[in-house]
Structures are given as structure tokens and as C-alpha cells.
């Protein structure tokens, strides 16, 4: 009788131990899952608000008008027309003879120019960068199990896909153009972050992290 009582007690203790372990595991999973879910929901909601803002409306209209009007709906014209708009927006230069960075430097050295004072929201380069960053963040949401592709596909349409296509070719033009992607390499060495103070220390550290990476963003 005593043996049966001991066996029952041992069995109950083991069962209680197993249940406690399982509950502890579930608690750990929930402690990780819930904050992550809240974080991604907040990120997605923030993107949704941004996309419906005035700045984004202006940027979307600007990109579509650039492609439809300036490029006449032809992808092959994007680089040439983008360079023209960049020079006009940034430097008020409307000369079609500038095709290289050396020609741009020569033009700027031989004339007095002023940075265009138009609102940055109206500059094509600003609009491209604004929307490119937005879609990068949206893709991160689509790749997470907390938001997912189905929800993104439900909330956005094929119109955004067309916009992404234009942005892709504009980005490709930026990588291939001497004017849009200037060569700012130099032989001067950045000091180690251990030899700097204040904000310079963070800048030098980040430089050491990024200096050997590729010229394009890796996802």
C-alpha cells in the first residue's frame, strides 16, 4: 500500500513538473511573440499612414508623371530624363550637353549657380528616395509571419507594382549614371573610432562597418 502511494506521488510530481515545464515554454514563446507582433503591427500601421500622407501623394504623382510625360512611357528613356531632371532640380541647369560628372564639375566651376529653392517634395530625386525606402520597409513586413504577403496583397494593388517597376529602373539608372551616382572615393584614411570622440566616434565606427560592403543594399 505504501509502495503504491509512493508511486502515485512520484507520478503526480512528474506530471506537475512536465506541466510546469510546458507552461514555462509557452510563457517564453508568448513573451517573445507578443512584443514582436505588436512591433510589426505598429510598423505596418505607420507605413499605411505614411502612404496616405500628402508627401507620398505628391511623390507618387510625381513619379508617374515623370514616366508618363518626360519618358513618354518608355523605360529606355529613364536614365537620360532622370539626369535632366536631377540637374534642373538641384542646380537649375537645363543644358542637355552635360552627360558626365566631369562635364558637370566644369559647368559648376565656370558659373555662379544656386541650389534650386523649390520644395524638396517636388524634387524627383527626393520622391524616388522617399518611395524606395517605403517599399523596402513594406517588403520587410510582407516577409514576416506577423504581417505576411497575403495581408500586403490585400491592402495594396497592382498600381503599386507598376510604381515599384518605375522605381526599380530609376534606381538602376542611378547606379549606372556618372551624374546621379558620383565618384567620391579618396585616398584619405578614416581614423579609428578609438581615436575619436563624440559624434565622430559613431561616424568612424559606422564607416568601418559599411566601407567594405557592396554599393547596393542587400536584403
Give the C-alpha separation, 26 to 9, whole Å.
26
pLDDT tens per residue across span 91-138: 777 766 677 777 777 777 766 555 555 666 678 989 999 999 999 899
Q: So what's the pLDDT on residue 118?
A: 61
Q: Does 43 have pLDDT greater than 80?
A: yes
Question: Residue 204 to residues 13, 15, 149: CA-CA distances in angstroms?
Answer: 58, 57, 38
Is pTM beyond 0.75 here? no
Q: Average pLDDT of the chain?
A: 80
Please give the residue that has the higher pLDDT: either 43 or 210: 43
DSSP 95: -
pLDDT tens per residue across span 141-180: 998 988 989 989 999 988 999 999 999 999 888 888 877 8
Amino acid at each position: 500500500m505504501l509502495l503504491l502511494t509512493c508511486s502515485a506521488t512520484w507520478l503526480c510530481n512528474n506530471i506537475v513538473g512536465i506541466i510546469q515545464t510546458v507552461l514555462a515554454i509557452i510563457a517564453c514563446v508568448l513573451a517573445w511573440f507578443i512584443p514582436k507582433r505588436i512591433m510589426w503591427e505598429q510598423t505596418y500601421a505607420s507605413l499605411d499612414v505614411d502612404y496616405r500622407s500628402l508627401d507620398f501623394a505628391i511623390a507618387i504623382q510625381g513619379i508617374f508623371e515623370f514616366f508618363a510625360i518626360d519618358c513618354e512611357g518608355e523605360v529606355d528613356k529613364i536614365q537620360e530624363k532622370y539626369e535632366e531632371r536631377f540637374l534642373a532640380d538641384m542646380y537649375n541647369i537645363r543644358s542637355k550637353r552635360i552627360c558626365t560628372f566631369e562635364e558637370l564639375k566644369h559647368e559648376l566651376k565656370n558659373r555662379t549657380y544656386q541650389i534650386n529653392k523649390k520644395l524638396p517634395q517636388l524634387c524627383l530625386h527626393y520622391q524616388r528616395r522617399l518611395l524606395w525606402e517605403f517599399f523596402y520597409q513594406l517588403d520587410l513586413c510582407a516577409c514576416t509571419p506577423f504581417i505576411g504577403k497575403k495581408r500586403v496583397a490585400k491592402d495594396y494593388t497592382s498600381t503599386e507594382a507598376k510604381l515599384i517597376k518605375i522605381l526599380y529602373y530609376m534606381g538602376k539608372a542611378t547606379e549606372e549614371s556618372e551624374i546621379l551616382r558620383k565618384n567620391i572615393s579618396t585616398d584619405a584614411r578614416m581614423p579609428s573610432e578609438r581615436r575619436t570622440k563624440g559624434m565622430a566616434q559613431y561616424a568612424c565606427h559606422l564607416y568601418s562597418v559599411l566601407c567594405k560592403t557592396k554599393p547596393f543594399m542587400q536584403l
